[in-house]
Amino acid sequence: MFPESCTDYGYEACKATSDWLLEQAPVRPLVGIVCGSGLGSLAGMLKDQKVFMYNDIPNFPQSTVHGHAGRLVFGTLKGKPCVCMQGRFHLYEGYPIHKITMPMRIFKLLGVQVVILTNAAGGLNQDYKVGDIMVIKDHINFPGFAGNNPLCGPNDERFGTRFPCMSDAYDRQLRQLAQEVGAELGYSNFLKEGVYSVLGGPSFETIAECRMLNRMGADAVGMSTVHEVIVARHSGIRVFALSLISNKAVMDYTSEEKANHEEVLETGEQRAQQLVKLVSTLVSRISQPADL
């Protein structure tokens, strides 16, 4: 079992929340979708919606960031049962890392088999442009280097093994499928694939930090997603994740550019229609039970 400080995020708390949701939800979801900053419109693609405000869900964290609506939406997409988080949780909001990743464990207990995570990120790769979509193939977990990992503490085998593998964290088949779908939709000129690095935030990165991250092999940098990926994979959920490059990281000391949250939200709004099309088509292609 979890230590006393973690009981609010442990198996019994997650089970109570998932049972409460399943009693009221119209579907038992097979796909979970997490909307990042400015990308909440992804939830609008679900049909026959049932909406729960985060503050009405037992044990659920509350979203405090502008651009995160704080709603859990159940419905169907291309006939496939889904659940969508309009807004996620971050370390910089002050939540313990076990709390911000709790929704992934609730997803598992709801029956989710594939999770699609989206985020807005700063572009480190100099070939990237604002508005590009990066399919994440790997990550660098900097908070984890300091021991801030969502799997720290006693392991509960009801969720997963003590030492889960992360070399296959981002599902290769789903990544390939996304590239095929992107080509069919005519998105190849702005659909990339790369490595996502996570920092704690909420301050944006310094020039020196961006240079270091880029030299270490990171193509984009953000403040979310990785912790959720680790817990999802620990729970046996397949993961697909993408970053919307909402701004270019500043790596030149002579530059007058400054990263800001308004630019992040604006870029999300501009690219929203293509993101919805990409994600919805991807989900339609994994609709057969054999693919799950």
Model confidence pLDDT, tens digit, residues 219-260: 999 999 999 999 999 999 999 999 999 999 989 899 888 878
Q: Is the pLDDT of residue 261 over 80?
A: no
Q: Bigger pLDDT: 38 or 167?
A: 167
Min mean pLDDT across 55-59, 61-65, 84-88 is at: 61-65
Q: Is the pLDDT of residue 292 over 70?
A: no
User: What is the distance of C-alpha 205 from the center of its chain?
Assistant: 20
Residue 263 confidence (pLDDT) = 72
Q: How far apart are the first and last CA of the chain?
A: 30
Residue 260 confidence (pLDDT) = 80
pLDDT digits (tens, 9 = 90+) for 157-167: 999 999 999 99
pLDDT mean across residues, the chain: 91
Considering 67-71, 271-275, 287-291, the range whose residues carry the highest mean pLDDT is 271-275
Closest by CA position to 37, among listed 77, 73, 69: 69
Which residues are the active-site residues? 37, 68, 90, 92-93, 120, 223-224, 247, 261
Domain boundaries of the chain, sorted by first residue: 4-291
pLDDT digits (tens, 9 = 90+) for 102-140: 999 999 999 999 999 999 999 999 999 999 999 999 999
Q: Is the pLDDT of residue 101 over 60?
A: yes
Asked whether the beta carbons of 72 and 51 are under 8 A apart, the reply is: yes
pLDDT digits (tens, 9 = 90+) for 207-219: 999 999 999 999 9
CA separation for the pair 43, 47 (Å, rounded): 9
Q: Is the pLDDT of residue 3 over 50?
A: no
Query: The whole model's pTM is what?
Result: 0.93
CA separation for the pair 167, 156 (Å, rounded): 22
Q: Is the pLDDT of residue 291 over 70?
A: no
The CATH number for 4-291, chosen from 3.40.50.360, 3.30.2020.30, 3.30.1240.10, 3.40.50.1580, is 3.40.50.1580
Single-letter amino acid code for the residue at 135: V
Confidence of residue 65 (pLDDT cuts 50, 70, 90): confident
Residue 2 confidence (pLDDT) = 36
Angle at 226 between CA 224 and CA 230, to 5 degrees: 140
